[in-house]
Each structure stands twice: as structure tokens, then as C-alpha cells.
Structure 1
Amino acid sequence: MDVLDKYKKAWVNQPEDNKQLSSKEIYKLAHSSSSSLVKWIFIIGILEFIFWGVINFLVPDSFYKIYEDLNLETFLQVFTVFHYIILIAFLYLFYQNYTNISLVDNTKKLIKKILKVRKTVNYYVYYNLAIIVLVSFVINAKIFSNPEKHLDIINPDNLAMDLSQIVTISIISQIIAVIVILVLFWLFYKLIYGIFLRKLNKNYKELSKLDESN
């Protein structure tokens, strides 16, 4: 049982004339806890942004040769700029949520801010998963729109290969790869951000009960 649960239990069992003071204490604890959780969501967002930026910087130029062969350099450049702009926008929203939740002064406003934080984080997760699907679709559409070019890329030595069989295997492999990547990213976000969202949801429920009892 955490500190907030102990205060809530004590508040329920105490005389009616003392509940006003205790309800304020419960609110303060929920407010402090929620503010701390939102701050950590913002910090993790920054760390994730830096991590992927470093990974992108360390990837060797040879990795991008396939995009050059498929004439996708422009798409990749435009997408990268767009993606980082969106990520920065989400980081700004995370920071704004943190500053806003730190300044609220009553239970109803805190409840609304917690709901807003939850929506922002969920939109962030959905965006990242949708981007994986979108980029995979664009790249694979380009690849399979020209099967001969695809065969040249995966078979530079011009070995005897059945084109239709290679295309079929490639499509199945790409679908499996996208599904695996989506699941891994979903589990990552579920683990990292899900911990904080569950705690925020708990605070939301406690504050809702508190608000109803006042």
C-alpha cells in the first residue's frame, strides 16, 4: 500500500469534521505524485529522442545505399525532417503538460490535466507505430513496383533465381518483419510509458472518488 492509499484509508475512517483537512492532504499527495510522473514522461521522451538521434548518427552511409538504389533519398530526407519536427512537438507537449499540471490548484483541474497527459502519451505511441507502418509501406511499394530492380539489389551476382518466387518470399518476409517490429515497439512503449500511465490512472481514480465525496 503506497502513501496515497494510506491517506485515503485514514480519510474514509475518520470523523466527518476532520475530512476537509485530510482531503486536502490527499489532493496534495496526488498532485505531487502526478507532477513527478509527468516530469518523468518528459525526461524519458528526451532520452528517447537523444537515443534515436545517436543511433541515426552512428549508422554507416553504406546502410543507405539501398535507398539510393531505389531513388528514395529525397523521401528519406523529407521524412526524417518531418519526423523530428513531430517528435519535438510532442516533447513540447510533454513539457507543457508538466508545467500545467504543476500549476493546477483544485481537484477538478488536476483530473482534467491527468486526462490530457494520458491522451498526449497515447497519441505519441500511436504516431510512432503508425510511422513504422507508413514508412514500411512506402519502401515496399517502391521495391515491389519494380521487381527486376528488386532482384538486382538482392542478387547483385546475377545468380539464377525465380523472380516470382523471390517476390513472394520478400513480401512474406517484409510483412513478418513489420509485425515483429510493431510488437517490439508496442511492448517497449507499453513497458516504459505504461508504468507511468498506470500510476497516473490510479491517481485519476482516487481524485475522482475524492471529488465525488466532497
Structure 2
Amino acid sequence: MDGLDLLKQHWNTDENFPKVDKESLRTMLHKSSSSLVKWIFIISVIELFVGIALGFLINIEEINEKPLLHLINNIYTVVFYVIVGYFIFLFFRNYKTIKNTKNTKSLLQTILNTREQVNKYIKFNIYCILFSMFIVCVEKIYSYIEERHGWGEILFYSVTFTIASTLVYLLMVRIVKYYYKILYRRLIKKLDVNYEELTRLEIEA
């Protein structure tokens, strides 16, 4: 629990706790929002480097043997990291904007932008998991067909593997959503509280 949370807790439980003037509260909300967006930026950078490291560790030799799939995989990798890099740039820009701005309206707008961008970032990563699973499915089924099995066996294998992959995908999505809920959603929830407090201060001003 940070200083701002402790202050709010005292306000709610102790009537004798000294009140802080609006300008001081606005300053604390400003610093809190800047810190939250900074952590969003830091976490996204860590995820990027972890993703790059895992990319070197994962064995993709089977995909590389298929020229078309190899090309699709390379294009996907480039597009993925370009878009992730763009999101990281947006998070960093939001952090700098919040840190340097003295205007409450600009701060409120940046908080809204950050919330929207984080939601898009989460959806983008989930869609990428779906696409990755699709590529793996196609590659495995294609390899099975190349082994010249009968069409009955191919159909059975394709259906079975697709169902199994779908179950794995759903499990992975649940894990990823839980991960984002612990990290990003928690930060965004605090940003939302700051937004509401800042809006209230603006109305009362």
C-alpha cells in the first residue's frame, strides 16, 4: 500500500486525521499516476526481453524446414515485435507526458489513453497466442500429410489435434488473462481511482 492509499484509509477511518488541501492532493495523485504508468512501461519492456530470450530458446527447426511456414513465421515475428515496440513507445510517451504535465485535463486524458492502450495491448497478445497456435496446428497437420498416411487417418489426426490445440489455447488464454489481471489490470484499476479523484477535484474547483 503506497502513501496515497494510506492517506485515503486514514481519511475514511479517522475523522480527526488532518485534511490535505486540494492542491497537495492533486500533486499526490499526479505522482501516483506517473508511478503507475512508469510500472506499466517497465513491465512491458521486461516482457519484450523475456519474449526475445524465449525466441532463441524455442526449437523451430521443424517450421524452418517448410519454406512457406518459415516465411510466415518470420513475417509474424517481425510484425509482432514492431507492434509490441510501438505499444512500449506509447507507454513511455504517456509516462513522460504525465511526469512533465502540470495541466490536470492533460493528465486525465493521458490516463484515459493509457487505459485504452493497455486494453489493446492485452487483446493483441491474446490474438497472437491464437495465431501462434494456428500456425503450429497447420505445421503439424502438414507434416502428418507429408508422411503419406491415409485420408481417414489424416482426418482423424487433424480433428484430434485441432481439438487438443483448442483446449491448450483456452488454458493458455486463461493463464495469460490471469497474469494480466494481476499486473496490468491492478495498475489500471489504481489509475481509474486516481482519475475519479482528479475529476472530483476538477468539479469542486
Normalising by structure 1, report the TM-score.
0.80
Please identify, of 195-204 and 67-76, the stretch whose mean Cα deviation from structure 2 is larger: 67-76
**Is 2:96 aligned against 1:81?**
no
| Contact 2:137–2:161 (8 Å) recurs in 1 | no
**Any unmatched runs of 5+ in structure 1?**
none
Equivalent residue in structure 2 for 1:188, among 156, 175, 179:
179
Whichever residue aligns with residue 4 of structure 2, its letter is L
**1:86 to 1:2, Cα distance in 2 relative to 1, 3 A:** closer
Equivalent residue in structure 1 for 2:61, among 50, 53, 64:
64
- 1:105 alignment partner, SS class: coil
**1:105 to 1:25, Cα distance in 2 relative to 1, 3 A:** same
> What is residue 88 of structure 2 aligned with on the other side?
91
Question: How many pairs align?
Answer: 198
Whichever residue aligns with residue 177 of structure 1, its letter is V
| Contact 1:70–1:142 (8 Å) recurs in 2 | no
Structure with the greater alpha carbon radius of gyration: 1
> What is residue 55 of structure 1 aligned with on the other side?
54
Equivalent residue in structure 1 for 2:192, among 177, 182, 201:
201
How far off is 1:188 after superposition?
1.2
Question: What value does the CA root-mean-square deviation take over the aligned residues?
Answer: 2.9
| Contact 2:63–2:70 (8 Å) recurs in 1 | no
Q: Tell me, in whole angstroms, the C-alpha distance in 1 between the residues paired with 2:157 and 2:35.
A: 52
**Is 2:38 aligned against 1:39?**
yes
Equivalent residue in structure 1 for 2:104, among 104, 107, 119:
107
**Any unmatched runs of 5+ in structure 2?**
none
**Is 2:125 aligned against 1:131?**
no
Q: Tell me, in whole angstroms, the C-alpha distance in 1 between the residues paired with 2:159 and 2:80.
A: 31
> What is residue 4 of structure 1 aligned with on the other side?
4
- 2:203 alignment partner, SS class: helix
